């Protein structure tokens, strides 16, 4: 079965092998050397001043960011399940909250964010997804962050990059905290979360909040290449292998470029067979299709063609399907996915099979190679 869900994503063979080595004790020079090397590579990937790894899923990092970096009122964008979660976290940790709500296909607007900031002077942090995975939607986070900072540089910008870090280059100039999780673009099993922090964020954290998710104690320890509590040693070993694998592949730049090409080619291929891309601003992490037959297509993909794609949640249950674009995906697998979707439409009697999807994918993906050579 091909795992094509936008998290968890497949773990490469060499990464699984690296994690199969005998367990290490975390308070040893051997593990500290691995931790140090991982930290160095993470700082490069995030391009932030500081980075922290937590033994938690992505939601743990969201909670750590909100509780340590918002001291009064959180403005958050809710255009899907994960944006909504920021609101639940704010309430759970005893903060005031202001919600900006959108339909799941609609990106947040700078004007709405600015209007909310003008209307509520107690807002001291803004939280938003870079890619809202519920609908495969890309928010204009960099533009929003720049506007927030121009309005008041003291307001902290928290960006959930769980399906963006490792997918595309994020300009963090105006972002104070960017969050990543192991099981999405970083091609690992779930259980490790990461936060990239600006120097201003580290200052605002001060003595930190909470106990396990106290970022001050983690920053202090992790600067010495150790952790406040037992490190997720196996996942850190795996993360170093992932980051080295990306480097051997040609670096993050090549990964971002290939991901963008592949995501665009998949969208073109599916549009060519009459399907519709759901978000008005699609993220590169996944291709999201809304369709009356979404549930039937997903079942056929799984049962007849061995492809596992994700569905939708809440009001989008049975109405969309989401195809992963994160990680180092072998091209032949993606070609099989678009081909299987075309076959599924034929089985549903929607259109006769003629190979349009895989042909369009190949033509778009290889368009620079397929131009006729000058003689």
Ligand X SMILES: *Cc1c(COP(=O)(O)O)cnc(C)c1O
Based on the shown chain and the rule CB under 6 A, indicate whether residue 162 belongs to the binding site for ligand X. Answer: yes
For residue 374, how many other CB atoms are within 10 A of its CB?
4
Query: Taking every pair of C-alpha atoms in the chain, what is the biggest distance, in angstroms?
Result: 70
Rg (CA), the chain: 21
**Residues 215-274, interacting with ligand X (CB under 6 A):** none
How remote is the C-alpha of 37 from its chain's centroid? 23
Closest contact distance (angstroms) between CB of 337 and ligand X is 20
Per-residue x/- track, 107-146, ligand X (CB under 6 A):
----------------------x---x-------------
Stretch that binds ligand X, among 55-63, 244-252, 276-284, 316-324 (CB under 6 A): 55-63
Phi, then psi, of 140 in degrees rounded to 5:
-80, 65
Judged by CB under 6 A, which of 87, 107, 135, 181 binds ligand X? Answer: 181
Q: Give the one residue of 12, 190, 311, 318 binding ligand X; rule: CB under 6 A.
A: 190
Applying CB under 6 A, among 160, 176, 291, 364 the residue interacting with ligand X is 160
Segment 208-214 long-range contacts (CB within 8 Å, at least 24 positions apart)? 208/68, 209/67, 209/68, 209/93, 210/64, 210/67, 210/68, 210/93, 213/54, 213/56, 213/60, 213/63, 213/64, 213/67, 213/68, 214/68
Question: What minimum distance in Å lies between the beta carbon of 172 and ligand X?
Answer: 17
74 bridge partner residues: 97, 125
Residue nearest to ligand X (CB): 58
**Owner of token pair 């673009």:** 185
| Among residues 10, 58, 135, 327, the one that binds ligand X under rule CB under 6 A | 58
Residue 178 CB, shortest distance to ligand X, in Å, is: 12
**Residue 282 near ligand X by CB under 6 A:** no
- 78 makes contact with ligand X (CB under 6 A): no
The token duo for 153 is 């540089």
Window 341-370: residues binding ligand X (CB under 6 A): none
Structure tokens at 221: 């320890």
Structure tokens at 34: 């691995």
Measured from the CB of residue 164, what is the shortest distance to ligand X in angstroms?
8
Binding residues (CB under 6 A) for ligand X: these are 7, 57-59, 82, 129, 133, 160, 162-163, 181, 184, 190
């Amino acid at each position: 079965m091909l795992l094509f869900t936008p998290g968890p994503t497949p773990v490469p063979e060499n990464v699984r092998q690296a994690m199969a080595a005998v367990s290490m004790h975390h308070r040893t020079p051997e593990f500290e050397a691995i931790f140090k090397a991982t930290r160095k590579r993470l700082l490069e990937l995030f391009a932030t001043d500081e980075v922290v790894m937590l033994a938690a899923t992505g939601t743990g990092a969201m909670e750590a960011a909100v509780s340590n970096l918002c001291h009064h009122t959180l403005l958050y964008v809710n255009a899907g399940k994960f944006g909504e979660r920021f609101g639940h976290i704010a309430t759970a940790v005893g903060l005031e909250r202001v919600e900006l709500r959108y339909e799941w296909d609609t990106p947040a607007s700078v004007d709405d964010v600015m209007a909310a900031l003008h209307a509520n002077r107690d807002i001291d942090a803004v939280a938003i997804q870079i890619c809202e995975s519920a609908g495969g939607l890309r928010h204009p986070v960099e533009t929003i962050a720049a506007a927030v900072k121009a309005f008041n540089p003291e307001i902290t910008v928290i960006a959930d990059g769980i399906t963006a870090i490792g997918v595309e280059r994020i300009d963090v100039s105006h972002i104070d905290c960017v969050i990543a999780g192991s099981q999405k673009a970083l091609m690992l099993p779930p259980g490790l979360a990461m936060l990239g922090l600006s120097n201003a964020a580290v200052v605002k954290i001060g003595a930190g909040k909470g106990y396990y998710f106290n970022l001050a104690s983690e920053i202090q320890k992790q600067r010495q290449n150790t952790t406040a509590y037992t490190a997720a040693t196996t996942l850190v070993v795996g993360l170093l292998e992932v980051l080295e694998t990306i480097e051997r592949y040609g670096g993050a730049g090549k990964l971002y470029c290939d991901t963008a090409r592949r995501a665009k080619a998949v969208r073109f291929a599916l549009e060519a067979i009459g399907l519709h891309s759901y978000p008005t601003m699609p993220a590169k992490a996944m291709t999201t299709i809304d369709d009356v037959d979404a549930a039937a297509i997903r079942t056929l993909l799984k049962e007849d063609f061995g492809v596992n794609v994700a569905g939708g949640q809440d009001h989008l249950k049975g109405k969309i399907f989401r195809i992963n674009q994160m990680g180092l995906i072998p091209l032949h697998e993606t070609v099989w996915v678009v081909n299987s979707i075309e076959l599924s439409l034929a089985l549903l009697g929607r259109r006769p099979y003629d190979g349009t999807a895989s042909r369009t994918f190949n033509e778009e993906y290889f368009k620079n190679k397929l131009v006729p050579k000058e003689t």
